Structure 1
């Protein structure tokens, strides 16, 4: 090979290598740009309908507020947000469906403190996901006090009467819940543990079934969210015995808190939030968080929710994650103290 031929071959090789390096650099730049918070992918989201899966029955707070949030996200982002109820298994069925969905922001979970309770109520082997491993926190929605109500025919007029009756007839009275691990279940177990009473738990597949049977007199009592029970209380269809918050309900200030009525330090609430499958792009998570927070602080929303006893919550994804970790720890202690089981 002549010197000229060698030189020409060397130049051709160099050009080929340079071209490959340039193409590789361009490819890396495109890939990096795709995951930046301000990238086109996040700006274009959502480009197709988004599903919000509710792992609880229709008619309960999670379903009601999922539809409320979905409509406003749809208005703000100009794309359909469709609510899909998938109850069953103490919320495990619908939650697992979201955990197995693509982490692209098009399948979201409407969750509650049922999920933080379930982290300790169910053995790890009985639960097909781990909440903080398999999901990304997006944003909280709101929280509400619970109210303890009794069927009209039950011979009690206040909380003291109920405790006396339950102690006189251990294991005879019944309380309904929307299923194992739900706020209604854990509020009942906490009440039993703190009053030293034995009351039979009757779990349902959703709060609407539990509510219907208390209203119909088939079950003696239940804890329910103030927003969904207030109209039944005011119409005399159930007896309200006390609310579960630290302070009196602004919706029903005439009712004592359970702590005031004779169970010191009693407190239990229901809160709701949105999560996405783990590894959903942070840009999408942040976009959803920003839009949900806008809804939560809207004066009309704050007023409408407040009239029903629901208080808006606003947090960053990181703050919401810490909030949930703290709630998991709190309920783990209560599960242990109460001896609550998923099948009881």
Structure 2
């Protein structure tokens, strides 16, 4: 199913309406720190669509874009811990504590981690005219032409931006980073030959790869992707390189453990439905399905990991 068809199928209206007349359903707002139609929004709508019947709840998607997800996160941090307000967050939850000088919330203490939902690898792509066909050839080219190549950055401080900065740092490359207001404009300029390189999520770039408008040089995950078996992992040239983005479900701090477990179980069960698996395949997502304790440990480790990367690269927010 194409992304626009998926959005139309899930609808811009509250998700509970998809199940017909609602009777005595509890309503939960699922806040998303991104605009409608983007990857985070689609994951939230897909998740709410599957969780609703399992919990007899109406999940209403509440888009609160801005400040790299901080606006939505701040609202959930202040909400009552009764399950009426949840957060579908992404990698920025772990990046922002170091990226921003001060946050209006504590990314650990002010939240109840519920479930790890999915990871999203990025793909390093190039304009077809670039004389490199894989990550090793790109590294050799960049070293032969220091400062001559440019890479588009779709969002300063994003996971894909930091992945590109680590690539340059670890491989000792002089490649100029050029900020863009979103993945779409960045890819348009790569396709047009205005800029040589970009890192983007699988769903955003795979149509252009299939059409030959750009070529894939490497993936940011630790292993190659099943959808692109011929595209090497950047880790094959730079051992230990693994910079996938991720999505996770949070509630406010202080949630009743039994209620938190109900949300966690419903979310994890939703990932195993045929419909959800197909949606994730379309979006290039890899299901995580981690429970509350494991996801909580993961978030803490990610804050430390991304903190070191932000500090090492000197990245700053827009």
Report TM bin, short chain: 0.7 to 0.9
Looking at structure 2, the residues matched to 235 and 155 of structure 1 have their Cα atoms a distance apart, in angstroms, of: 19
**Equivalent position of 2:245 in the other structure:** 270
Q: Is the 8 A contact 1:192 1:199 kept in 2?
A: yes
**Equivalent position of 1:109 in the other structure:** 87
Q: CA deviation at 1:47?
A: 4.2
Distance verdict in 2 for CA 1:52–1:170, change over 3 Å? farther
Looking at structure 2, the residues matched to 129 and 207 of structure 1 have their Cα atoms a distance apart, in angstroms, of: 28
Q: Does 1:339 align with 2:317?
A: no
Deviations 1:51-76 (A, max 9, x none): 22221344432122112112112333
| TM-score, normalising length: structure 1 | 0.76
2:71 pairs with one of 73, 93, 97: 93
The gaps in structure 2 that reach 5 residues or longer are 1-23
Q: How does 1:91-240 map to 2 (within 5 A)?
A: 91-123=69-101, 126-240=102-216
- Aligned to 2:233, the other structure's residue is in SS state coil
Deviates more, 1:213-222 or 1:250-259: 213-222
**Equivalent position of 1:247 in the other structure:** 223
Distance verdict in 2 for CA 1:266–1:300, change over 3 Å? same
1:318 pairs with one of 288, 293, 297: 293
| TM-score, normalising length: structure 2 | 0.82
Deviates more, 1:248-257 or 1:160-169: 160-169
Looking at structure 2, the residues matched to 204 and 98 of structure 1 have their Cα atoms a distance apart, in angstroms, of: 29
Distance verdict in 2 for CA 1:291–1:127, change over 3 Å? same
Q: CA deviation at 1:234?
A: 0.7
Q: How does 1:250-329 map to 2 (within 5 A)?
A: 250-260=226-236, 262-302=237-277, 304-306=279-281, 309-329=284-304
Distance verdict in 2 for CA 1:85–1:176, change over 3 Å? farther
Looking at structure 2, the residues matched to 48 and 180 of structure 1 have their Cα atoms a distance apart, in angstroms, of: 38
- Aligned to 1:314, the other structure's residue is in SS state strand
Deviations 1:249-270 (A, max 9, x none): 111101111122x333322111
Looking at structure 1, the residues matched to 247 and 46 of structure 2 have their Cα atoms a distance apart, in angstroms, of: 12
Q: CA deviation at 1:104?
A: 2.7
Q: CA deviation at 1:209?
A: 4.4
Deviates more, 1:82-91 or 1:248-257: 82-91
Q: In the comparison of the two structures, how many residue pairs are matched? A: 295
Distance verdict in 2 for CA 1:106–1:177, change over 3 Å? farther
Could you say which structure has the higher helix fraction? 1
**Equivalent position of 2:51 in the other structure:** 73
Deviations 1:119-165 (A, max 9, x none): 22222xx2222200111111111113221112345454333443344
Deviations 1:264-318 (A, max 9, x none): 3322111111111222333332211111011123355335534654221122212
